[in-house]
Structure 1
Amino acid sequence: MSKNPGINVDVAEPEKAWRPGSRDDGDVSPTGGEFPRDGEETVGFWRVGTKTADDNHAERIAEAIPKPFRFHPLKMLMITARSTSRLSSYTHLLLPAIPAGIVMWYTSRNKNPVLVFVFNFIAMIPSGNLLAFGSGELQHRLPKVWGASLEIFTGAVVEIIICLILLIDLQFDVVRAALIGSMFANLLLISGACFLAGGIAWKQQKIAPYVSEVSSAALLVSAVGTVSPSLFFQTIHYRKDVNEHRAEVRVLRVSRVVSIGLFFSYLCFLFFQLHTHSSSFHHVLERAESVYIGRKQYRKKLSVLEAIFVSAVGLACVSFCAYFLVREIPGIVEEHGISELFMGLILVPLIEKTSEHLTALNQAWDNQIDLAIYHCLGSTIQTALLVTPLIIMVGWALDLDMDLNFQLFVALSLLFAILVVGNFMRDGKTHWLKGIFLLMVYYVLAVAAFNDPNEKKEAWGMDIREKVEAAHAAAKALHPAAEEKRSFTFL
């Protein structure tokens, strides 16, 4: 600008220019290309002078991220109480259930086992939310793709803890049901709820091709690998030249070898998503982020040290509550006649990833359907390719006969569920009616699981069960070496 007094230096207010964006190419504006309404938060497209709204947006996010080693107890409590959304913050109302469940375990587990189960069942919800929130705060220091993957992995931590406790407690049937039940919950219950919630808030939502295509392919392959050992058992144990014990030994071998392949597939899936095709996934995250701008992005964040502390507290609470909960399952099943399949297929998975389920619902309501579907399908893939083979290999290391011999009804239902979800996402659109249909499929499976008889108690009878177990024990005592070779030979 010249200082010559003869030149007019009056400059008009900088012009506000709006660059329209397309909701299909990822260049999304919250107002669909129009000027923002009064009081509306915007990002990415305002240009005022030399400073763009992108710069302001980045500055506001950076201001909310504190120094890594800050530890301020009061700020940590206030930020944690607000959580990432209003829905997840409501789970803090259930925090008193955590000390109540622990106290009842040490004082009333012999007199009131049902109350111990119920309180620890409820306590798993806020405990899992603390763990998920703490680990979620760490992703602000990571690239978007790595941060989203870390958030998905947090849900697997709770699932692994519960399944390992069940495994060590020799509740193999409940473990198998819980693994498949987790997939059902993500595929049908939570996906259906997301479609329904998103359909109520928005008439129609579009799914990015990357999410639908890659997730559907990985889902189908992982499901085939997971249920193939059980279908193999159903094929060979009806043959006249193969008795039931030999069929069980064979399916145990198949399960262990298949688990190695599933785990390797998970590593390949991570490499694909985090390295070779990370740009496609990053584009999806950017597109979803630009759709909704508000308190969830500009809120105050925990420091790295505070996030680690909150995660550690959540992990400790999850471990204690899961242990107390699992130890009461056999008594509940035997004394109150609740189906063992219903316990593992429906009840246990409901609490494994509650915080992740709440996050997905909130994202669907905010029109971030890509992130919501990625949470649901990504968790299912992680259960099939990571958690399931990990449990089998841990059982193998502990010399436990844990295999992938699921009930035929459960195995086929999983394949049908994946086909239904894949067909619903094929057109790249979601609405509330699809959500209702998915919830109906889950309801049918829950009704069938609730009416499944406990085989050991009703079909055999306790006296017959005792005789069969005594016969097996006698056979093992007569031929211990041969029995051990048949049971644990790898090849």
Structure 2
Amino acid sequence: MDKIFLIVMIIGFPVSVIGSLLKWPAILMFIIYCLTIVTLAFFMSKATENVSMIAGERIGGLLNATFGNAVELMIAIFSLHAGLIQLVLASISGSVIGNLLFNGGLAFFIGGIKHKRLQFNAYNARHNSVLLIFAVIVAFLFPKFFSYELHSKDVLTLTVSSSVILILLYLAGLYFKLVTHRGVYQTSDEKKAEKETKEQPEWGLWRSLITLIVLTLAAAYISENLVDTFKTVSRTFGWSEIFIGIIIVSIVGNASEYVTAIMMAVKNRVSTTVEIAIGSTLQISMFVAPILVLVSLLFPEQMKLIFTVPEMIAMVLAVLLNVMIMNDGDANWFEGATLVAAYVIMGTGFYLL
């Protein structure tokens, strides 16, 4: 599998560069760009997996979410510059829905086939649930309702102030988990498993970090060119900006997280899987989305965190379903299948919208 991805990446990146310079057809380039980003994401996931073995599951999961979301952040910034604000908002909601339902669900489903019970820290799950409810229901849903009564300028003020608060709370949450309360709520089984683990990283720390940086830069170049194909793809296939953002951009942009989450679940390192799926969602909603709001102030058209009604309903339902399944610190393949089924139903709805 590694060799196949390596071959596709070695061929895909130069072909992407040549195709963009020679102005090949947009549909062909859209396919090439997506395949190339997915292969780059695969090796980004391998690098972050090695880092997690060295630095621990929480830091590894955080790094995977960060570098995975870096790709989507780049796509979003280039889309903002192109004036595709609706697509950016859709990619944010798509990441929330995709990580909670498709990423987590698929990892639980595949990992649950091999292991009958997938256990993880229930306290961490409940801690993440509180932040999820705050980010999606309070920070996203609240401004949506107020937007009906406020002027556009006031809505922007509310969005910017909310964004600053979200960023500060996200950073405070990281400090809580990684510094002041690191290991405080770790179970004895988790501590024992960390001591008994025999798995050794294939790559050293510096090689992994350098690989992550180089692949992220390569993904940035591909992402910029990918954005240029969206309008042609939309006209050709009849896809709306919302569908492209929610399904296509979120899956391509988060490919590395999907790969790593599944690999960790198969290895029964479920804490890392949860840290990736939930941690990435929190990072998107509490850090990436607010950063995009602040970045948009530099462009002619500003982005407000005001989602469509279908997007808000989908995100709220995804959070509630995820909270109910994960709060007990235990999952299985059937619960994973339930999450994936919910994602397919929502995806079908957005396709038909």
Same fold (TM over 0.5): yes
Q: Which amino acid aligns with 2:155?
A: V
Q: Report if the CA contact (8 A) 1:192-1:437 is conserved.
A: yes
Q: Answer with 282-291 or 397-406: which moved more.
A: 282-291
Aligned to 1:226: 140
Q: Which amino acid aligns with 2:168?
A: F
Matches within 5 A, 1:375-454: 375-452=276-353
Q: Which amino acid aligns with 1:104?
A: G
Aligned to 2:128: 215
Q: Report if the CA contact (8 A) 1:222-1:384 is conserved.
A: yes
- Cα distance between partner residues in 2 of 1:130 and 1:123: 11
Residue 140 of structure 1 and its aligned partner are, at CA, apart by: 6.0
Q: Which amino acid aligns with 1:261?
A: I
| Residues 435-481 of structure 1: CA deviation (Å, up to 9, x unaligned) | 111111101111111112xxxxxxxxxxxxxxxxxxxxxxxxxxxxx
- Cα distance between partner residues in 1 of 2:339 and 2:264: 18
The change in CA–CA distance for 1:287 and 1:208 in structure 2 (over 3 A counts) is farther
Aligned to 1:202: 115
- Cα distance between partner residues in 2 of 1:425 and 1:141: 27
Q: Report if the CA contact (8 A) 2:122-2:328 is conserved.
A: no
Aligned to 2:32: 119
Residue 400 of structure 1 and its aligned partner are, at CA, apart by: 3.0
The change in CA–CA distance for 1:288 and 1:425 in structure 2 (over 3 A counts) is farther
TM-score by length of 2: 0.91
Which of the numbers 231, 248, 256 marks the counterpart of 1:347?
248
- Cα distance between partner residues in 2 of 1:273 and 1:258: 22
SS at match of 2:305: coil
Q: Which amino acid aligns with 2:97?
A: F
RMSD: 2.3
Higher relative contact order (CA 8 A, sep 6+): 2
Q: Which amino acid aligns with 2:13?
A: I
Q: Answer with 128-137 or 213-222: which moved more.
A: 128-137
Structure 2 residue runs without a partner (length 5+): none
Residue 308 of structure 1 and its aligned partner are, at CA, apart by: 4.3
**Percent pairwise identity:** 22
Q: Report if the CA contact (8 A) 1:288-1:368 is conserved.
A: no
Matches within 5 A, 1:30-429: 90-95=4-9, 96-109=11-24, 112-134=25-47, 137-138=50-51, 142=55, 145-224=58-137, 225-233=139-147, 235-236=148-149, 247-280=151-184, 286=191, 289=194, 293=197, 297-302=199-204, 304=206, 306-429=207-330
Q: Report if the CA contact (8 A) 1:230-1:251 is conserved.
A: no
Q: Report if the CA contact (8 A) 2:46-2:260 is conserved.
A: no
The change in CA–CA distance for 1:124 and 1:285 in structure 2 (over 3 A counts) is farther
Structure 1 residue runs without a partner (length 5+): 1-85, 237-245, 453-491
- Cα distance between partner residues in 1 of 2:232 and 2:151: 30
- Cα distance between partner residues in 2 of 1:194 and 1:315: 24
Q: Report if the CA contact (8 A) 1:211-1:373 is conserved.
A: no
| Residues 341-378 of structure 1: CA deviation (Å, up to 9, x unaligned) | 11000011111121221111111112222221121001
- Cα distance between partner residues in 2 of 1:206 and 1:118: 38
More helix by share: 2
